[in-house]
Structure 1
Amino acid sequence: MKRIGLLLLLLVFASSSVLAQNKVLSLDGDGDYVQIPASVWFNGDLTIEAWVYVKEYRSWSRLIDFGNGADRDNVLVTLTREATGIPGLHIVKSGGLESSTALELDNWTHIAFTLKGNSSSLFINGHAVGQGNFASPPRDVERQKNFIGRSNWRNDDAQAMFDEIRIWNLARSATEIQDAMNTSLSGDEKGLLGYWNFDNGTAEDLTANGHDGELKGDAQIVASPPSLVMANRITNLGHQFEFDVSIQNAAEGDTLAFDLTYDPLLLQVDRVTKNDATTSWQEPKINHHKGVISLVQLSHSRVISRFQSKLVTITFQSLQTGQSQVRIKQPQLIKADGRHKSVEVVAATIKAFPQPI
């Protein structure tokens, strides 16, 4: 789903497209989780990766927690340290590696942790953002209490959606993570121990290892709702910067229209350009006085990747220091068959600081 930076995220599922079959695990944070069968799972090098959509920073909530109870051979990925939104990889009695920045709420993000020997790396949306060392690799023992979205401690359950969860017994390289994060796997890749993408409506393990998950509580597998989301941006006074508008999980043939609003006292639009996923459009109308960019008849007819493709890039220049809300107004999505789909939106903030001395 999902790339770091300035993203306008649109999740669309269409019955007429193969992309319409993409489904995700949805957990409401109240007793929902997936139980995974017992196995050793970890005893040396590893990679744990997934697309995550965090709805709330629930204290110490998990992507996965595989172990034998609290503080017993656990290997776990947290979505948030306490309620900070800082994700991390933790190996009990060996150490931890955390991100320096929080995961965006209501935003699809790809996270991946690797361990090679005692050296660990963290990747956000395919980019290496952290490194650290563990005292030792995980112990070679069978782990019997293995959960997606739940802790072996008395921490909060995850309120989130997950997709493309993959566990490997090798450390994937940055290139390997980047090349495969926007596509589905066959299930027979070397070193792949467990793979859950939920597209068939179950938590079936798509490898030959048979680690099928069991939905617990009110855990559901759903088509992710259409939503427009923008990430926040920090810049300096007088700087020119690009703002990418991307579409995620889109079906070919969709037509989009929306207004993008901003504070014209703080920001100036220099230009708007269409990207590869937009095969045609009506030239944008920019009202510099009111701070409105009207984008209509954006024809999305090329799916660049399964999860995300850029639609347009807006080049802004910061005019004053301060904070501007950037919002999506009057969003419309029209399917190839003429049906209209509602679209959820989330605002973003652009902050401009004085030039560094």
Structure 2
Amino acid sequence: MTEIRHNASAVVQPGEHTVIANLNASDPANITGLAGAAITEIRHDASSVIQPGDYALSAKVNAGTTSISNMSDTIIDHGNSPSTQLGDYTVSAKVKSGNADISNLSGTSINQISHDASVQPGNYSLSVVETQVASNTASNIVLKLDGETYIEVPGSESLNPKNALTIEAWLKPEKMTGEAVAKDWGGQRDYIFPELVGSNNLRFVLWPETKILDSPGVEIGEWQHVAGTWDGQKMRSYINGNEVGSVDYNVEELNDSEVSLYIGAGDSPHWTYTGLIDELRIWETARTQQELKDSMMKSLNGNEAGLNALYSFEGNAKDSTANGNNGEEVIGTPEYVDGELSLVSSTSPSTTRSLRITAPDATTHEVIYDMTDTSVDFPSLGLQVNTSNLSNMTSILLNNPHTFTINPTLEVTPPVGPTVETEYSFNNNSQTIDFSGLDIDVHTNNAQAMTNTLLDNSEDFTINPTLKIVAPDGGTTQEIQYNANNNSQTIDFSGLGIDIHTNNAQAMTNALLNSSGSFTIDTRLKATAPDGTQQEIQYPSSAQSQTVSFNTLGLELDSSNAEQTATQLLNHSQGFTIDTRLKATAPDGTQQEIQYPSSSESQTVSFSDLGLDVDSNNAQTTSNTVTQSLSDFQSQSYYVSDSP
């Protein structure tokens, strides 16, 4: 305090006064320094921890950790850089379409395993399995033609043998008419066999020069094996392995037009075949009678030497050889039925090769592939295996599993801005997944368990700020972490006796983040006059000079630092004295005025100009008695006798 002034009004009492500062919990802090910070009120108690004066308030992000909802094994480690956002985040895992990690497949000639987003993340096992298919009964499915239906096979070089020819098939005719197989249409003619004519004749026709061989022996409603051969010199016909006719036919080459091959029809609507047909074979060699007998009761594989086309009619008209002479256009409605024709498979067991994948869930998937393939599709898994050398892949992976991995992606969506993705390894190990752009690391002690929880499912975590208060003494601080959301909150600084109320914690954070505002806790100054009269004034306790007026007592208190004054006087009273002036007037009107210390002590006041001493055993009482008005000081009249 620099000065206590008083006026000369009647309310001013001479004598000893006291002044004391105290805190009133009903007085909120002065928050004018926090304008725009969404702080509605700062309350304080009246405990001994409260310091009057100016406080600094700021928000910040402390580097630390936070947890993910429902996931005790995974934590979030975050920094406090400018890129660290406060608020609610979501985290989830997914598999993106892409390529698997094939680092364990080095040397297998597998150059890529692509996958869609439906796959399981994790470790897959990949191997090749070979299966030997032993001799057994072939399928009984055959082609049934109704006399109005036929199948067209586009012409090709392999369907036009020039130097030798064998056509064979199994027939069960319902009518003794029609061309079962013909390369004869629109004036382009190469061959017809078998054709049924007359009462029971089997006709074989070749071009050029339209050579016809008719042989008897065909039966209606019976399965019969028929064959027609040409060796460059002679045409022969066979039924059930027996030669039934022959004719010389010596030409240099057969016709080789581009006309299609027709199964069930020739170059006339009236030459359609009615009945069953199976195992149609076209050879570029003249099969011997013994060869016909040896193979007529067997189904073939399609890779036999000299076999240019093979139609087993297993529900379609596909060519089983590598030539691909498939029936592409169908006129009418072909039926594939059980023809009760029992053939035996080839005596040489066939080998099928399958690529086997065992998925992370332990399910096994196999796909048969051909040695000419460059990729193997696993549609049930959403995978495709691409290889540059299928033979090498087969030899290395045959009964020798290798592994590959499909890794998931972790997604973190911050409070503001786009989702950030990071791929990580799918295993049972602990991992740290770095989201450096968000200043976040995700730590898990089991990446697989984390993935199982988060796969196509999001969880939440929050990075909360810290509110910091620095008390007026500059050394006392307290930090409290709070939720940075849009809700109202009360943040309790119990160590400082302060509660901060905000109606929007996020807005408060935005205003105070890496910045500071101030608020002031004011005291109440109470002055007590000598007669016990009191007046209490709320005292702005900032660190500035102030004047506090006690109008009721006629006093003004000046302070060069109100905060320091409040601190010194808090719950500790100090005294001050208002002195009066005594004025003595002699009979001749001579006056002398003396400032008179008006404490409640005995005093002697000397009026040297008048040769007088005034003794008092209580200066304050004397002052109160003789004081009429502080604006007009007068003493009581005195009389002096002649005696000394």
- TM-score, normalising length from structure 2? 0.31
Q: How many residues are aligned here?
A: 207
How far apart, in 2, do the equivalents of 1:21 and 1:185 lie? 12
- Counterpart of 1:87 in structure 2 is 202
Show structure 1 runs of 5+ residues with no match: 1-17, 227-247, 250-304, 308-357
Structure 1 210/190 Cα, relative in aligned 2: closer, same or farther at 3 Å? same
- Counterpart of 2:147 in structure 1 is 29
Task: State the Cα deviation string for residues 42-72 of structure 1 (Å, max 9, x = none).
Answer: 31210000000001123xx1121113x2442
Q: Is the 8 A contact 1:64 1:78 kept in 2?
A: yes
How far apart, in 1, do the equivalents of 2:224 and 2:312 lie? 15
How far apart, in 2, do the equivalents of 1:80 and 1:154 lie? 15
Question: Secondary structure of the residue that 1:175 maps to in structure 2?
Answer: helix
How far apart, in 2, do the equivalents of 1:51 and 1:306 lie? 14
- Counterpart of 2:232 in structure 1 is 117
Among 82, 93, 96, the residue aligned to 2:212: 96
- Counterpart of 1:77 in structure 2 is 193
Show structure 2 runs of 5+ residues with no match: 1-135, 346-644
Task: State the Cα deviation string for residues 208-232 of structure 1 (Å, max 9, x = none).
Answer: 00001133311111112x5xxxxxx
Task: State the Cα deviation string for residues 258-277 of structure 1 (Å, max 9, x = none).
Answer: xxxxxxxxxxxxxxxxxxxx
1:139 Cα offset (Å) = 3.5
Q: Is 1:223 aligned with 2:338?
A: yes
How far apart, in 1, do the equivalents of 2:189 and 2:293 lie? 30
1:157 Cα offset (Å) = 1.1
Matches within 5 A, 1:245-260: 249=342
1:74 Cα offset (Å) = 2.7
Structure 1 102/127 Cα, relative in aligned 2: closer, same or farther at 3 Å? closer
How far apart, in 1, do the equivalents of 2:313 and 2:175 lie? 22
Q: Is the 8 A contact 2:190 2:257 kept in 1?
A: no
How far apart, in 1, do the equivalents of 2:247 and 2:223 lie? 25
Among 282, 288, 306, the residue aligned to 1:167: 282
Among 307, 322, 337, the residue aligned to 1:208: 322
Among 164, 168, 175, the residue aligned to 1:49: 168
Question: Secondary structure of the residue that 2:188 maps to in structure 1?
Answer: coil
1:78 Cα offset (Å) = 4.0
1:166 Cα offset (Å) = 0.1
Name the amino acid aligned to 2:141.
K
How far apart, in 1, do the equivalents of 2:322 and 2:164 lie? 20
Q: Is the 8 A contact 2:194 2:226 kept in 1?
A: no
1:122 Cα offset (Å) = 1.1
Structure 1 138/219 Cα, relative in aligned 2: closer, same or farther at 3 Å? farther
Matches within 5 A, 1:287-326: 306=344
Q: Is the 8 A contact 2:234 2:250 kept in 1?
A: no
How far apart, in 2, do the equivalents of 1:94 and 1:55 lie? 27
How far apart, in 2, do the equivalents of 1:137 and 1:88 lie? 22
Name the amino acid aligned to 1:157.
T
1:79 Cα offset (Å) = 2.9
How far apart, in 2, do the equivalents of 1:145 and 1:137 lie? 23
Q: CA RMSD in A?
A: 2.2
1:140 Cα offset (Å) = 4.8
How far apart, in 2, do the equivalents of 1:52 and 1:22 lie? 13
How far apart, in 1, do the equivalents of 2:242 and 2:256 lie? 32
- Counterpart of 1:351 in structure 2 is none
1:137 Cα offset (Å) = 5.6
Q: Is the 8 A contact 2:183 2:260 kept in 1?
A: yes
Q: Is the 8 A contact 1:73 1:139 kept in 2?
A: no
- Structure with the larger RCO, 1 or 2 (CA within 8 Å, 6+ apart): 2
How far apart, in 2, do the equivalents of 1:220 and 1:137 lie? 40
Q: Is 1:66 aligned with 2:188?
A: no
How far apart, in 1, do the equivalents of 2:199 and 2:217 lie? 7
Structure 1 56/22 Cα, relative in aligned 2: closer, same or farther at 3 Å? same
Question: Secondary structure of the residue that 1:141 maps to in structure 2?
Answer: coil
- Counterpart of 2:419 in structure 1 is none
Task: State the Cα deviation string for residues 196-248 of structure 1 (Å, max 9, x = none).
Answer: 0112x111100000001133311111112x5xxxxxxxxxxxxxxxxxxxxx5
- Counterpart of 1:193 in structure 2 is 308
Question: Secondary structure of the residue that 1:177 maps to in structure 2?
Answer: helix
How far apart, in 2, do the equivalents of 1:150 and 1:140 lie? 19
Name the amino acid aligned to 2:190.
N
1:135 Cα offset (Å) = 4.7
Name the amino acid aligned to 1:161.
L
How far apart, in 2, do the equivalents of 1:137 and 1:97 lie? 18
Bigger Rg over Cα: 2
- Counterpart of 1:4 in structure 2 is none
How far apart, in 2, do the equivalents of 1:217 and 1:53 lie? 20
- Counterpart of 2:518 in structure 1 is none
Matches within 5 A, 1:126-165: 126-136=241-251, 139-165=254-280
How far apart, in 1, do the equivalents of 2:264 and 2:276 lie? 9
Q: Is 1:39 aligned with 2:153?
A: no
Structure 1 163/119 Cα, relative in aligned 2: closer, same or farther at 3 Å? same
1:153 Cα offset (Å) = 2.9
How far apart, in 2, do the equivalents of 1:95 and 1:77 lie? 12
Q: Identity of counterpart residues, as a percentage? A: 29
How far apart, in 1, do the equivalents of 2:223 and 2:284 lie? 25
How far apart, in 2, do the equivalents of 1:28 and 1:73 lie? 24
